[in-house]
Amino acid sequence: MGTPAELISPRSPRVAAARRLARRNFRTKERRFIAEGPQAVREAVAHRGEAGPTLIELFATVEAAERHADIVAAARAAGARVHHASDEVLADVSQTITPQGLVGVCHFLDSPFEEILKGEPKLVAVLAHVRDPGNAGTVLRCADAAGADAVVLTDASVDLYNPKSVRASVGSLFHLPVAVGVPVERAVAGLRAAGVRILAADGAGEDDLDAELDAGTMGGPSAWVFGNEAWGLPEETRALADAVVRVPIHGKAESLNLATAAAVCLYASARAQRAPGGCRSVTPS
């Protein structure tokens, strides 16, 4: 039998430092955040920023290290410090009730808004007043799945690195550029100057998503602006958009939640942009 792995002490300064990242002020000061679970850690291992590998260190239970030996080996190869940890330590640094055995400490990875504009984005999700971290992470995941080029979180939205946001993104945080803390006026002005049409998603919008698709207006670059979960977009933000668009409700549901509406809107744009020659009307003549 091999020698049992040496476990890091719960009183280790490394454990204390990781534990502090549950608080936003420490995340901001250290420019580090926590990624939990095999999917997020695998994506963190593969991600590299301008300064080098994103994953700094990894805490893993002995069982998880054996089960996910490929992730642990890749983390070591990328230069991350790997610590074998007890369930007690994992529970201490994790923000979930049932940790999955792997917790990574990562460098911040947000991109400057100007860099996103230089990339000539065709599809962007702008989270203008999104306060729920789970919704923010889920919209980011939807944007990634729809093939968006970037996500922008305004200064009125939740912290990108909130543990709930990171978990809800299910690794998508590591897949596409994300800008944070951008005032909504600046985000809209910059995207419009880059040739991107601004679409505000609102259940009371004057324009219908189906009508927009039928009219063939959605084949060009577009940015969807999503608002607060409870009260939507304020009038001053709606006024910034080129169109305020509602997702049609064909059944008896009162409304769609934010993440569902975002998925519908982003996929509508993705489909229109990928159609030959842009989206053409399907309404019978």
Together in a domain, 124 and 92: no
Q: Are residues 143 and 263 in the same domain?
A: yes
> Tens digit of pLDDT for each residue in 248-280?
999 988 888 999 999 999 999 999 998 875 544
Q: What percent of the chain has pLDDT over 90?
A: 78
Residue 284's pLDDT band, with cuts at 50, 70 and 90, is very low
Could you tell me if residue 5 is inside a domain? Answer: no
CA atoms of 209 and 226, how far apart (whole Å): 14
pTM of the model: 0.90
Q: What is the CB neighbour count within 10 angstroms for residue 45? A: 26
Q: Both 244 and 103 in a single domain?
A: no
What is the CATH classification number for the domain harbouring 253? 3.40.1280.10
- pLDDT tens per residue across span 220-256: 999 999 998 778 889 999 999 999 999 999 998 888 8
pLDDT for residue 42: 95
Over the chain, what is the mean pLDDT?
91
Give the pLDDT band of residue 5 (cuts 50, 70, 90).
low
Verify that 133 and 245 share a domain, yes or no. Answer: yes
Could you tell me if residue 2 is inside a domain? no
| Domain end point (choices 83, 107, 131) | 107
Grouping H, G, I as helix, E, B as strand and the rest as coil, residue 217 is coil
The closest alpha carbon to 269, from 202, 206, 205, 201, belongs to: 201
101 and 211 both lie in a single domain:
no
Per-residue confidence at 97, pLDDT binned at 50, 70, 90?
confident
Domain boundary pick from 107, 134, 158 = 107
In a domain, 123, yes or no: yes
Structural domain count of the chain: 2
How many angstroms separate the CA atoms of 113 and 179, rounded?
5
Domain that holds residue 22: 13-107
- CA–CA dist 227, 251 (Å, integer): 23
63 belongs to a structural domain: yes
Query: What is the rounded CA–CA span in Å between residue 282 and residue 140?
Result: 30
Half-sphere exposure of 25 (CA within 13 A, CB side): 0
Based on the fold, state whether residues 126 and 196 are members of the same structural domain: yes
The reply to whether 122 and 229 lie within a common domain is yes
Mean pLDDT of 48-77: 93
Same domain for 44 and 122?
Answer: no
CA distance 267 to 259: 12
The per-residue pLDDT for 220 is: 93
For the stretch 191-226, pLDDT in tens is 999 999 999 999 888 999 999 999 988 999 999 999
